[in-house]
Chain A
């Protein structure tokens, strides 16, 4: 099982000091956080993609390419790549290039994006959100698997004799997850292709994500990719930890109360009861995270949101130390207990390449 972090990349004033980091500081902080993730033994760093302030990560492959050069083992991912408003041809090229530079340490989470104006800014219509996600991904999927593509669709100019370069590393396309907060169509899409499904698992009660993941697992089996419990599931989560839980609560409360997404709404206690947010001791985080397996079945990837709402870099790095030293080793051990042998790990480039070679040997 893989553990990691995902970053929204928000530039938010620290509510305890009123200080807002510059874009340069925030961008460098994201890099430092990714490096720290590798240093403390995490497996994955994923960046968001946004095209409006107060967010900095508009150019994910630039950032991930830089981090790739600074790390050795970390898998670089996205949370999410906008499959609706980006040109699928450019996604095919950018991420294949990144895949080569990072020696295969790349996968992507596709998402639609929910910022209305981004659609018209990129020449699209938000009402076509699902249709764009379906058509654009169908093209991307083809571009990574077929050397020469003739293609025509609703949303971009047709292609005749087009070859996306570079070709995927070793002829193995980056693994793709599909992320959705509420659309059954996206769970269906992930199941159809046998891709992964990533549930952000932050903003809604677990019952909501259970329905999406159940649908994905059921349809994964329907489309013949394996049994439902072999489907590839990733989950988000959100934690803030201190040795003593009361210290964690006291320190995180002003960040919660002023957070851009849910601030000034429910109390932190209410939000913790309703969503997977855990503010407390490392033991509490372990206990809560282990419950995810009961709710969603054995899964492949757990990402935590750690660096948002104006938390200073120093604090985030401390959080990563706790996560890497005290939490993840226990989670790795505990999640392995009773995990059926036929439940796969999260696909890596090496695993996908080996599977491809096995298949070719059989065919020959």
Chain B
């Protein structure tokens, strides 16, 4: 059976964190849909708070230290990514951006991505479309159409429009979209330029 790896990155700062709560919910939905396709699923949860110092050190020194190095490698090898941030000042948080700023260029090219965001009220939900989507478009990720925003009230209400059931439904739809894209692509195999260098004759010829 094929094993599909899903990196689940949360930039939540609280412990516990509603951003992590949403990330887990999206991960469950995507994993369920992938299992329905007959795949095994391995989840790689990443809480950026745990790597906050290492991320800033990476900014300053240019290399990822310690555990962050392993995390970046794992995210780079994943078949899909779920990325969830709290909305700060009409955008993703600085911590969230920093993580994607230190990720090696090209890492997310063509990688299926599901976006999520959390905030105090529904007023901030467009941050997904106005801030997150352009960044992931720049990174050439394959972002699925449905993204999920959860405001505080979504965690307590049910039945009514915009309530908990609606959140469950949206998560299920988004997860199914992500699973469909992942299912349609071969498992991630990235060529390693250190194993297979471009022959020098090609470099000399400007190829």
Evaluate contact between B194 and A203: CB separation under 8 angstroms: no
Evaluate contact between B65 and A189: CB separation under 8 angstroms: no
A261 to B204: give the CA distance in the assembly, Å: 33
Evaluate contact between A265 and B60: CB separation under 8 angstroms: yes
Evaluate contact between A266 and B200: CB separation under 8 angstroms: no
Evaluate contact between B197 and A205: CB separation under 8 angstroms: no
Evaluate contact between B60 and A262: CB separation under 8 angstroms: yes
Assess A188 versus B199: contact at CB under 8 Å? Given A212-B194, A265-B56: yes
A94 within 8 A of B: no
Evaluate contact between A261 and B203: CB separation under 8 angstroms: no
A223 to B60: give the CA distance in the assembly, Å: 38
Write the nearest CB–CB distance from A114 to chain B, whole angstroms: 9
Evaluate contact between A203 and B198: CB separation under 8 angstroms: no
A264 within 8 A of B: yes
Residue of B nearest to A265 (CB): B60
**Which residues on the A side are within 8 Å of B65 (C-beta)?**
205, 266, 270, 274
Q: Which of A7-15, A18-26, A64-72, A130-138 contacts B (4 or more CB under 8 A)?
A: A130-138
Q: A184-B198, A189-B200, A219-B197 are in contact. List 12 more A-B contacts (CB 8 A).
A: A130-B203, A131-B206, A135-B206, A184-B194, A188-B200, A188-B203, A205-B69, A211-B194, A262-B60, A265-B57, A265-B60, A274-B66
Evaluate contact between B194 and A214: CB separation under 8 angstroms: yes
Assess A266 versus B194: contact at CB under 8 Å? Given A130-B203, A203-B63: no
Query: Which of B53, B61, B204, B206 interacts with A203 by CB under 8 Å?
Result: B61
**Which residues on the A side are within 8 Å of B193 (C-beta)?**
184
Q: Map CB proximity to A onto B173-204 as digits: 1 under 8 Å, 0 otherwise.
A: 00000000000000000000110011110011
B62 within 8 A of A: yes
A185 to B201: give the CA distance in the assembly, Å: 11
A203 to B57: give the CA distance in the assembly, Å: 12
Residue of A nearest to B63 (CB): A204
Q: Map CB proximity to B onto A264-287 as digits: 1 under 8 Å, 0 otherwise.
A: 111000110010000000000000
Evaluate contact between A188 and B204: CB separation under 8 angstroms: no
Interface members, chain B 33-62 (any A CB < 8 Å): 53, 56-57, 59-62
Q: Map CB proximity to A onto B94-136 as digits: 1 under 8 Å, 0 otherwise.
A: 0000000000000000000000000000000000000000000
